[in-house]
Amino acid sequence: MTTTSPHGAAPHAAGPDGHGWAPPGPAATPCEAARLIERIVAAVRAGDDPAIRPLLHQLADVADAEALLLLHRRLNEDLHR
């Protein structure tokens, strides 16, 4: 059984009991998450609001805690310049 993620991404296998949405496994490498983070940071710096939301949705589907902390650090860099 497959379901669609809450972010509208490609279908993933259902949870262990066969029902509901199950988060994907490590579908992205850290390099892929880092590339998305750099694109998000660039979009934020440019004020490109239409690009930010889709990029965040893509990152949400592949990011782990470490990637989210990296995004936080990268966005905070601009606050202290």
Nearest one of 71, 66, 68, 58 to 5, comparing CA atoms: 58
pTM greater than the 0.75 cutoff: no
Q: Are 18 and 1 in contact (CB under 8 A)?
A: yes
E strand residue ranges, the chain: 2-4, 11-13
Average pLDDT estimate for 22-38: 75
Question: In DSSP terms, which residues pair with 12 in a beta bridge?
Answer: 3
C-alpha 80/C-alpha 33 separation (Å) is: 24
User: Is the pLDDT reported for residue 25 higher than 60?
Assistant: no
C-alpha 10/C-alpha 17 separation (Å) is: 20
Task: Indicate the average pLDDT of the chain.
Answer: 78
pLDDT band for position 63 (50/70/90)?
very high
